[in-house]
Amino acid sequence: MQAVVKIGASQYLVTPGQELIVDKLESPIDSKIELNQVLMVSDGDNVTIGKPYIDGIIVSAVHLSQAAGEKIRVSTYKAKSRHRRTIGFRSKLSRIKIESIDGTPAKRSRKVV
């Protein structure tokens, strides 16, 4: 079984047992997370697409850890004015593990065969 889930501003194709690195989540570490913004579910033969989300499907996950991402250096330069500036940025990331995809889709979602 697979599902496409919206977490923050990104969409991820997830399967049970998979670990993901996503943008920082506000939940405490080792807590369960229920992701209810499911865009698509596939169980082998049947594919269900939401309008925009599928009601009745919940993806369960566990928040494993938080860390800082890789450092990015950004430089700006203006010609003829001797202006140079370099700044750094590290994004905050969370690691989650998908436990299960549960539920049955509501009648108003589309089934694609």
Reported as a single tens digit per residue, the pLDDT across 62-78 is: 999 999 999 999 999 99
- Per-residue pLDDT at 108 exceeds 70: no
Is 56 within 8 Å of 48 (Cβ atoms)?
no
pTM exceeds 0.95, yes or no:
no
Confirm whether 54 is domain-assigned. yes
Query: Residue 111: is its pLDDT beyond 70?
Result: no
Half-sphere exposure of 18 (CA within 13 A, CB side): 16
Query: Which of 62-66, 68-72, 92-96, 100-104 is predicted with the least confidence, judged by mean pLDDT?
Result: 100-104
Q: How many distinct structural domains can be found in the chain?
A: 1
Please state whether 69 falls in left (phi above 0), alpha (psi between -120 and 50) or beta: beta
Residue 112 located in a structural domain? no
Whether residue 89 is predicted with pLDDT greater than 90 in this model: the reply is: yes
Domain membership of residue 111 (yes or no) is no
Instruction: Indicate if the alpha-carbon torsion angle 103, 13, 95, 9 is positive or negative.
Output: negative
Residue pair 56/104 in contact (Cβ under 8 Å)? The answer is yes
**Mean pLDDT over residues 5-34, rounded?**
94
Please give the average per-residue pLDDT across 4-12, as a whole number. 94
In a domain, 26, yes or no: yes
pLDDT in tens, 35-59: 999 999 998 888 888 888 988 889 9
CA dist 42 and 59 (Å) reads 13
| Residue 113 counted as domain residue | no
Q: What is the pLDDT of residue 45?
A: 84
Q: For residue 9, what are the domain limits?
A: 2-106
